[in-house]
């Protein structure tokens, strides 16, 4: 399976260029996109942005000079993950557009039903790839936030914990958007592979996110 972020289709409506207020209003409307996938991507971007904040508040402080070069490199990685997640907000909406069209295809004759099923399966596969890519980027975010929490300024410790919580929530939210697309696929083998990838990402990163959050919470005890 190809990496979904290399196949981003830009929708005609670029939601990520809206104001926060406008995006939230769009999200609460009755149109199907943007939806849970886009919200997941944005939550992940917010989470890793907090990691970048921790890095910026730490770099240049004599107390943390030993970790400065590492944090500079990680900050660059964090920015790339942030940009990928922002792009995936629009990619999720773009992936849904052909699926919405497939649902409206006629299904009166056997030939029409077969063609609709074929198109639906292709669209469902594309629609599942984007939230899976969101999960992958959120995993990278969680790894980075664990380091930011460990080596960043104690003055920004809570921000690292917030970032980890957001990134894990984004990953779990994206997982539901993977599942809603794989559950009706005719290609059961493909669906099983995608689901296995999603479960593996949750198993690999959720514990790290929760551990980071727990460490931050403990570090904030009086």
Q: Which two tokens stand for residue 74?
A: 């990680």
Is residue 7 very low, low, confident or very high in pLDDT (cuts 50, 70, 90)? Answer: very low
CA distance 94 to 145: 29
pLDDT in tens, 89-137: 999 988 888 888 888 888 888 988 888 889 989 999 999 999 999 999 9
Top CATH class of 35-219 equals mainly alpha
Whether 206 and 141 have beta carbons less than 8 Å apart is answered as no
CA distance 51 to 219: 17
pLDDT in tens, 165-202: 999 999 999 999 999 999 999 999 999 999 999 999 99
CA distance 108 to 2: 35
């Amino acid at each position: 399976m190809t990496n979904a972020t290399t196949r981003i289709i830009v929708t005609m409506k670029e939601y990520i260029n809206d104001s926060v207020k406008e995006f939230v209003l769009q999200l609460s409307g009755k149109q199907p996109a943007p939806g849970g996938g886009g919200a997941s991507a944005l939550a992940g971007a917010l989470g890793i942005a907090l990691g970048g904040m921790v890095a910026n508040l730490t770099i240049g402080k004599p107390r943390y000079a030993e970790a400065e070069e590492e944090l500079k490199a990680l900050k660059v990685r964090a920015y790339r993950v942030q940009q990928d997640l922002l792009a995936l907000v629009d990619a999720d909406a773009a992936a849904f557009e052909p699926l919405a069209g497939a649902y409206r295809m006629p299904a009166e004759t056997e030939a029409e039903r077969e063609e609709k099923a074929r198109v639906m399966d292709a669209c469902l596969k594309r629609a599942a790839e984007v939230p899976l890519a969101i999960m992958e980027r959120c995993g990278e975010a969680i790894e980075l936030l664990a380091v930011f929490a460990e080596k960043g300024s104690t003055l920004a410790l809570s921000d690292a914990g917030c970032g980890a919580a957001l990134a894990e929530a984004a990953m779990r939210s994206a997982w539901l958007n993977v599942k809603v697309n794989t559950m009706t696929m005719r290609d059961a083998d493909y669906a099983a592979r995608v689901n296995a990838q999603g479960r593996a990402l949750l198993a690999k990163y959720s514990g790290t996110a929760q551990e980071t959050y727990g460490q931050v919470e403990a570090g904030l005890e009086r």
